[in-house]
Amino acid sequence: MKKCKGCQKEIDDKAKKCPYCQTDQRNWFRRHPILTGLGVFVAFIVIVGVLGSSTEDKSVPTTRPEITGEEIVAPTPEIPISVNLRSFLTEFDSNQLAAEEKWSGKLIEFTGTVSNISGSSDRPYVSFRSESDEFLGASISCRTLKDSTQATSLTNEQSVIVSGVVKDQSMGSVRLDDCVFKQ
Residue 42: predicted pLDDT: 92
User: Same domain, yes or no, for 99 and 171?
Assistant: yes
Q: Is residue 177 part of a domain?
A: yes
**26 belongs to a structural domain:** yes
Distance CA 93, CA 16 (A): 77
Same domain, 40 and 85: no
Residues of the chain with pLDDT under 50: none
Instruction: Examine residue 56 and state whether it is found in any structural domain, yes or no.
Output: no
pLDDT, tens digit, 9 for 90 and up, residues 23-53: 888 888 888 899 999 999 999 888 888 887 6
Structural domain harbouring 6: 2-51
Query: How far is residue 139 CA from its own chain's centroid?
Result: 26
Q: Establish if 147 belongs to a structural domain.
A: yes
- Which pLDDT belongs to residue 167? 92
Q: 164 and 86 in one domain?
A: yes
Indicate whether 35 and 96 sit together in one domain. no
Question: Is 129 found in the same domain as 90?
Answer: yes
Total of domains in the chain: 2
Looking at the structure, tell me whether residues 46 and 86 fall in a common domain: no
Q: Are residues 108 and 21 part of one domain?
A: no
96, 172: one domain: yes
What are the b/e assignments for 55-80, b being 16+ CB within 10 Å?
Answer: eeeeeeeeeeeeeeeeeeeeeeeeeb
pLDDT at 165: 93
Looking at the fold, whether 45 and 116 belong to one and the same domain comes out as no
Residues linked to residue 116 through DSSP beta bridges, in sequence order: 127
**166 and 88 housed in the same domain:** yes
Give me the amino acid identity at 128: F
Q: What is the pLDDT of residue 132?
A: 58
Give the CATH number, domain containing residue 103.
Answer: 2.40.50.140
Q: Do 171 and 95 reside in the same domain of the chain?
A: yes
pLDDT given at position 104:
92
Assess if residue 62 is contained within a domain.
no
Three-class secondary structure assignment of the chain = CEECCCCCCEECCCCCECCCCCCECCCHHHHCHHHHHHHHHHHHHHHHHHHHHHCCCCCCCCCCCEEECCEEECCCCCCCEECCHHHHHHHHHHCHHHHHHHHCCCEEEEEEEEEEEEECCCCEEEEEECCCCCCCCCEEEECCECCHHHHHHCCCCCEEEEEEEEEEEECCEEEEEEEEEEC
Asked if the structure places residue 70 within a domain, the reply is: no
Give the pLDDT confidence of 149-164 residue by residue, as tens digits: 888 888 888 889 999 9
Whether 43 is covered by a domain: the verdict is: yes
**Residue 59 forms part of a structural domain:** no
